[in-house]
A and B are shown apart, each in its own frame.
Chain A
Amino acid sequence: MALHDPFTEPLIEGDKHYGTIDEQIGGVIQNQKRYHLKHPWYLFLGIGFALLNVLLLTIAWLLYQGIGIWGNNVPTAWAFDIINFVWWIGIGHAGTLISAILLLMRQQWRNSINRFAEAMTIFAVMCAGLFPLLHTGRPWVAYWLFPYPNIMGMWPQFRSPLMWDVFAVSTYFTVSLLFWFMGLIPDFATLRDRAKTNLGKKVWGLLGMGWRGSARHWHRYEQAYLLLAGLSTPLVLSVHTIVSYDFAVSIVPGWNVTVFPPYFVAGAVFAGFAMVLLFAIPVRAQYGWKDLITMKHIDWMAKIMLATGLIVFYGYILEAFYSFYAGSKAELALLQWRINGPYAWAYWSLILCNGIIPQLLWSPKNRRRLPLVWIIALVISYGMWLERFVIIPMSLMRNYLPSSDRHYYPTLWDFSMFFGTIGLFLFLMMLFIRFMPVINMFEMKDLLYKLQGTKASAPPAEPALAPAGGE
């Protein structure tokens, strides 16, 4: 494949006009026969559903027995539960970042992936939210973490980073949801107007809230949308910063590191984009959106992964450096434990996955080798999970008093819980692809208009179909 100049390269390829965009995107929802029955959508839905049931089973057993079914112990009181929480939250960052920050930066290329990424954000945060709730010893009283007047006269304790988490995550979820839904309103209207079936008309009509695209509406709509983006930008940065406080604020060797906030945020974006690519590459192939999500998008996302990956790698190096710089015996012992303790393999494969392998993306050629990019994205997702493993349980295993060092071993239930949430995520994503406009239609039209001007308007004739089929 010849080298592409990302700046002259079009963001939308092929002969497009407004109608074809509607057809391509809306048709996925409204024209099931053509787009789903012959596609492996049901297969993935099935996988997701099966894993979802594993999750439900695990949760039931967890509530019945107590979190002792996991491998956590003292000193390693946090393990898979918090690893998975941080991992999912991290993945949840790409969505809002793409939507908000790139919107503010007027990055047109975001339009074809933001809806998709936002949905991922919401589902990822849902998965993440499970863990803080279920990792508590007594989930049935977890609501005590919310400040509400009660007969106990007790309030939450706002010095605790866990309280900050509660606020950060819930805010993040709410705002992402609003942002996502707001973006959907005009598209709902479009679907409403395209709907053939009566039911379709009703449902989309309800969701569309009677949107009629008047200029005044568009005016306020854009104001609000831009402001939401403006608000989400500091929010998305704050969320993972606060998550990193869970560790940075404590006095645990290996946790109380000032570099955590920036490198957690970078890591989040890193992981988030990896997950977007993991989904976007197959989906665009599946639904024939190669001309909407172009190689240019892939290329740019790969670049962002590379950049954030470098920041993360820098973070790892700093961590090691601090251990020496601080000179605390506990910190040094911990570093030694990481690089040649029983879990050293985790540390080194972390370096490999997040530090070394992403360097392949330096080459523009590689950035356009879809299978390679996809595999790198997969490796990165795994690496980011390892990062949390190295940070959380591996730090806890070593202590100020060597006598309290103990080993940690996960149990089957730890894994079933983790893969269960992956199932939940997959399941929701599949439903989303099936029932929601995966690409923001009105923004694509806007983009089309900007790119092609008047010739974007359709001849009265029935618009031609976009070519389907994979790479």
Chain B
Amino acid sequence: MSDYVKTTEEPNSESRITNSESMDNSNEQKPRLDLDAVRAKLAGKKGAHYWRSLEQVAETPEFEAWLADEFPNRRSIADIDRRSLLKVMGASLALAGLSGCRGYFMPEEKIVPYVNQPEEMVIGKPLYYATAFTHAGYAYGALVKQNEGRPTKIEGNPDHPANRGAANVQMQASILSLYDPDRAQSVLSNGELSTWEDFLKVVRKDLADQKKTGGAGFRLLTGTVTSPTLQAQIQELMRDFPRMTWHVYEPFGQDNSHAGMQMAYGQPLAPIYDFSKVKVVVSLDSDFLLQQPGSLRYAADFIEARRVKNGDVAMNRLYTIETTTSITGAMSDHRWGVKPSDLLRVAAALHGAVTGAAPEKGSVPVDAIARDLVANRGAAVVVPGEFAPPEVHAACAAINASIGAPVSLVRRFDIPLGQTTGNVAPPTGPQGLKELVDALNAKQVQVLMIAGGNPVYDAPADYNFRAAMANAPRRIRYGYYVDETSKECDWHLPATHFLEEWSDTRAFDGTVSIVQPLTMPLFEGRSIHEVLDAIAGRPQPGLARVQSTWRGASGADFDKRWREWLHQGVIPNTAATPVTAGSTSTFTPAAPATNGGGLEVNFRPDPHLHDGRYSNNGWLMEYPRPIIQVTWDNVALMSPKTAQDLNVRSEDKVELQLRGATVQAPAWISPGQPDGVVTLYAGYGRQNAGSVAEGAGFNVYPMRTSGAMYYDSGLQVKSVGGVWPVACTQIHHQMEGRDIVRIGTMDEFRRDKSLYRAEEKLDHEEIREQNMYPDEIFNANDIPQWGMTIDMHACIGCNACGVACVAENNIPVVGKEQVKRGREMHWLRIDRYYTVNDAASEKAVREDNIGLQDPIANPMTVFQPMMCVHCEKAPCEPVCPVAATVHSHEGLNQMIYNRCVGTRYCSNNCPYKVRRFNYLNYSDNQPQFANLDFSTGLAWAPAPIHSPKEHGIELLRMLSNPDVTVRGRGVMEKCTYCTQRISQTRIEAKKQGRNIADGEIITACQQACPTNAIVFGNIADPNSKVSQMKRDPRNYMLLEEEQTRPRTSYLGRITNPNKEISG
């Protein structure tokens, strides 16, 4: 921990130095610096522009040496020393505070904090800056917390329409990638260290040659691009090289949606749904709560429209017809699993039913659904699956048009602004790549620039991109990691993290955000804007380039506007304007896809790692995936029945054969999965992609071909014997008739508002009387009493809270082997139970005692976020022999790490099992990333904690939240209700001599939650939001009969089934 303190202190001292005030009262950490000499040197210099840190001014020998080294950070991180890294960090304070000297073509730039202006940076007080995180081309507004120049946490920007202050897992975890020791750090030429200058020399020469042919041999491959600046730059490039071609490839992009809209409207349109108005939603294999660019907003609106406020049960209804399990399916009131090949048939039938044609009989009662849709004309919507065939999108467009669904159509803004018609847009999806591959194979490509994406890894197998790109004499890769594709390129250019660059980006609804950096690049990265300008021969700083895009738009007084935009994190009124397009409402279904025999397969992006771009992110890798609760692996998801037919069990090693490719994978039984369908998450099986990604899971891309990017059939699965141990964090999936998650239909709710379901009668008063302990030990009347409610009616199980907790509380990544042993450190876990819709059938199900092995065709899936519930009569406290866990006057169950000797008795005695123990020195080691050999099942003896991966620690330490102790080995830890946030607020309130206002303290999990399922506050105040929630009839205390009096209580979940269907 002392190291930890140092790493946070170092920047402080440097920051004190960079702003020349408070130099005297700063307790100087580098005595060798002669401050007077420095002042003398400073005299007459124009501060910001000429010096980077005090060492430079003082010309200390080591700083000279550091300067002398032309590329100080280009050494492999293995032998990089902490001081030099920290110097860079110190220099980054220039940005945060006063001056920014950012390398040779970056002059001073001003960025604007979100809440408090840094006239004088207060050491120990974080600053918050608004910026935007871009995922697969679409933006989410971010508020980034910065401690002394270190970005330490990413939260949602409340002013941003895409997430309204919420955050998804990728967004929050991206901060870890900033400090990823495995990220690309310097320019590589054929794997050798090189420099930007050399690269520019080479590429400018190449492009000069290209000029002659108008750039016929110049190809640019990107992912989805919504950044207006980048689009403009590419267009400029295309003006310079009229015959160059720009290709776009997203392994899991919006291409089916685009094609479908193209089909339905003949225009490049994108649908934007307004769930706040919707009463009936039908999802045709859509995971709109998680997988869409607008998901965070959709989830919020959708839940708002079904939220139950004290007994008011007016709520919307969600039908889901899906080809795998998803959290949207888990939230739905009616769910059917269908084969991918049936999806189009269902869509057509639904369309037919809505438009009055006689519906064909199928497994799904489309007529009933259609009646419900039509009955709610104008407040009903059908959402097609992101990866459903274009026809399904077209069908849904037609249905939505006919029922006047609240869907606004906007022109696709991933097409550059200037261009108006679709065919000018670069073809997305596989077609886009196809043209490139053909050109490559035809040897028409001289200069190939791959900016983003990792085609060698994730291109369709039949393109054989690796071989194809070898035909291009010049292969340039601009990327964040030196990955599979970089290995095939002769130049690798290190990309910047979005916290290191100026840029702009657009959200799902087109709203533009300016991306402002919070630190200078840790390594030699340059933003894509800078790179494109540089190779085009007109180098300019990223800031200038981005500003030039917007100077025109702002009108007068650009600088003021600019500051406002940065401050707000969004540029007002930039949302795409809806267009009215005549739908070809008469939809004629194409011939339904036919099942080519064998099992059907369903390619999905991993809920955390997406297409693999985040697969080296330990937080995302280790947090259990929604519903399946699997970590560190992808698995072949199959229904219990399918598994029985194949005679395999979970963790059996199976061989998947599809289109000539053969892949070994672990089988995994997932109730709710449609029979005969195997779902495969992409993003695993990486090679030389970093210490986290390596060895995790298997690669599905070899089986994925351009003809069947998302759905395919003809999969052969056969068991090859042996096990593939999978680190899954939940082995029991039934509530076994216990009163854990309360759930009921609206009728049951009307009957018994408490939704209590278990057989035994439960009498609160009786239970309270049984408690022999005094209600109060110390008088705490005038002190706030903290409490929390979690509304399981609102929880969609998206994991945002869990990752937020990891980020806020310095929770370490422990690695697959430790998770397999049951030692994951997540303070907040999301329990998932399979149950059935109503009490009667639950009883039936329970009586034949269903385990995961037994088939349940279509269970209801419920989520229960579970962290320390801060019992008033905590069982963990009296059993601690050293009083290391005791109660605070504010009702917090406190854990005093320094006092803990690690007997672990508290964990044993915790009925909720929410305590976590540092069995090894997790916090500053990464053996967890060592790839252990699991071929013989679980390792007999855990791996040593010391491993070659230690080098990354110093870098990763800069991520630590200085307000939260980093726990050493041998101590217990658990959720603290974010006590550091409570303290900060309490101190502020005390200073201002007032009480803490309700809602002033927001815990990390609460902050991230897109649906406001978590409410935290003072339960002693009857008017606080949390008190109101606790008065809700659905409110109950988990395991109340154990006399623990938890401060966190849960609110039961209500479903709204359609009588016509459920009977």
Contact = CB atoms under 8 A, between A and B. Distances in A.
Are A and B direct contacts in the complex by CB distance below 8 Å? yes
Interface of A: 65-78, 135-138, 141-142, 144-145, 152, 154-157, 159-163, 166, 246, 249-252, 327, 329-330, 333, 396, 399-409, 411-413
Interface in B732-747: 732-738, 740
Interface in B872-912: 875, 878-883, 899-905, 907-909, 911-912
Given A250-B909, A412-B941, A403 B881 contact: no
A92 B920 CA distance: 32
A329 B47 CA distance: 71
A319 B883 CA distance: 31
25 contacts: A68-B919, A70-B919, A74-B915, A75-B907, A78-B904, A137-B919, A137-B971, A138-B902, A138-B969, A155-B883, A156-B882, A160-B879, A162-B903, A162-B905, A246-B905, A252-B908, A329-B737, A400-B738, A401-B831, A401-B866, A401-B911, A401-B1039, A402-B732, A402-B734, A405-B732
B537 interface: no
B170 interface: no
A329 B1003 CA distance: 34
Nearest to B629: A403
A67 B921 CA distance: 10
A251 B919 contact: no
B822 A408 contact: yes
Nearest to B906: A77
Contact of A161 (B737, B829, B879, B916): B879
Nearest to A392: B908
Contacts of A137: 900-904, 917-919, 969-972
A156 B883 contact: yes
Closest 7 CB pairs of A and B: A137-B902, A137-B970, A73-B822, A68-B919, A68-B920, A77-B904, A404-B913
A400 B901 contact: no
A162 B822 contact: no
Contacts of A68: 818, 823, 919-920, 942, 945, 969
Interface in B714-766: 730-738, 740, 760
A340 B398 CA distance: 56
A157 to B, nearest CB: 4
B903 A66 contact: no
Interface in B903-957: 903-905, 907-909, 911-913, 915-921, 938, 940-942, 944-945
B832 interface: yes
B1000 interface: no
Given A71-B821, A74-B822, A145 B908 contact: no
A76 B917 CA distance: 11
Nearest to B886: A157
Contacts of A135: 903-904
Contact of A250 (B732, B908, B913, B970): B908
B438 interface: no
How would you classify the secondary structure of chain B's contact residues: helix, strand, loop or mixed?
loop
B1042 interface: yes
A200 to B, nearest CB: 45
A141 B901 CA distance: 6
A74 B913 contact: yes
A341 to B, nearest CB: 11
B738 A330 contact: yes
A418 to B, nearest CB: 14
A157 B866 contact: no
A22 B900 CA distance: 54
A138 B822 contact: no
Given A74-B907, A401-B740, A409-B938, A145 B821 contact: no
B901 A136 contact: yes
Contacts of B140: none
B911 A251 contact: yes
Contacts of A409: 821, 938
A73 B913 CA distance: 11
A72 B23 CA distance: 51
Given A66-B921, A68-B823, A138 B908 contact: no
B833 interface: yes
A145 B884 CA distance: 11
Contact of B879 (A73, A75, A249, A412): A249
A166 B881 CA distance: 10
A155 B880 CA distance: 12
Contacts of B970: 66-67, 136-138
Contacts of B940: 411-412
Given A137-B901, A250-B909, A403-B732, A66 B920 contact: yes
Contacts of B900: 137-138
Contact of A75 (B740, B866, B913, B919): B913
A154 B879 contact: no
Contacts of B831: 401, 403-404
Contact of B919 (A67, A160, A166): A67
Given A162-B879, A252-B908, A411-B941, A401 B913 contact: yes
Nearest to B896: A154
A74 B911 contact: no
Given A137-B971, A141-B901, A250 B879 contact: yes
Contacts of B879: 159-162, 249-250
| Interface-central residue, B732, B760, B823, by most chain A CB under 10 Å | B732
Nearest to B970: A137
A450 B627 CA distance: 79
Q: Which of A69, A404, A412 has most B Cβ within 10 Å?
A: A404
B465 to A, nearest CB: 42
Contacts of A405: 731-732
A405 B912 CA distance: 11
A66 B732 contact: no
Contacts of B919: 66-68, 70, 72-73, 137
Contacts of A402: 732-736, 738, 740, 833
Interface in B823-841: 823, 829, 831-833
Interface string B1036-1057: 0011001000000000000000
